[in-house]
Amino acid sequence: MTSTRTILIETNRLFRQGLKHLLADTRFAVEAEFSTMEQAVDGAVTSGLVIVGEAGDIEQLRSAYPEARIVMLASDFAVDALRDAMNAGASGYLMKNVSPEALIQSLELVMMGEKVFPTNLASMLLDMSALVPQQSIRGLSPREQEILQALVTGASNKLIAIKLGITEATVKVHLKTLLRKIDVNNRTQAAIWAMNNGFTAQGAPVPTRGLNAA
């Protein structure tokens, strides 16, 4: 079995130790570990595979490990984070709740030169204009716009309800109406529609003249 020099960056010590144990008997046995991105950049001495379990400057990490394949392990899905990781040159973006088998298989694919991201989402982000037509935010209520903004961050219905001070049942009603208005099938497509129309984790776009009403 050909080994791959693997670097692990993860703030959570328990998760870091667990992942090291999981990979110990594979070709991805961890050679060096760091608790912060800054430590990893300062201690960069090799290439191979870098597994990142924290948010940070992927471009800086890419500069420190120019020959390495970089895979992010995220706790929560956020469209912005996925887009930024792709733009910065990450080879993979996976969720931390991925099964051990799927993780190792994904790492194998990455080392073969493949890009590994949540199913079908990478291509959707790379061609967002083909996914949904450009539409104005006119016709969406302020509450629906707040929910769209929350979807961009990957928030669950429960988190949206807490943030907006409404019930989960109310969130579901708004979401159902929202999906119909922007003509998408699910919350992931809604999040990408939102990004495509100027929504970010920080706020909604300001309507401009010359756009067709939704």
Whether residue 106 sits in one domain with residue 161: no
State the CATH number of the domain containing residue 174. 1.10.10.10
Whether residue 47 sits in one domain with residue 20: yes
The domain total for the chain is 2
Residue 214 is assigned to a structural domain of this protein:
no
pLDDT at site 214: 29
Residue 52 domain boundaries? 6-125
Whether residue 76 sits in one domain with residue 108: yes
Whether residue 179 sits in one domain with residue 119: no
pTM of the model: 0.59
Picking from 65, 42, 166, the residue whose alpha carbon sits closest to that of residue 51 is 65
pLDDT at site 204: 55
Residue 105 is assigned to a structural domain of this protein:
yes
Residue 14 is assigned to a structural domain of this protein:
yes
Blockwise average pLDDT, block size 10, the chain, 214 residues: 87 94 95 90 78 80 89 82 78 88 91 77 51 57 88 84 91 92 84 77 46 30
Question: Long-range pairs for 69-77 at CB < 8 Å and ≥24 separation?
Answer: 69/110, 69/111, 71/106, 71/107, 71/110, 71/116, 73/10, 73/98, 76/154, 77/118, 77/154
Whether residue 98 sits in one domain with residue 174: no
As to burial, measured by CB atoms within 10 angstroms (0-12 exposed, 13-18 middle, 19+ buried), residue 118 is: middle
Whether residue 113 sits in one domain with residue 48: yes
Whether residue 118 sits in one domain with residue 143: no
Whether residue 79 sits in one domain with residue 171: no
pLDDT at site 107: 94
pLDDT at site 121: 59
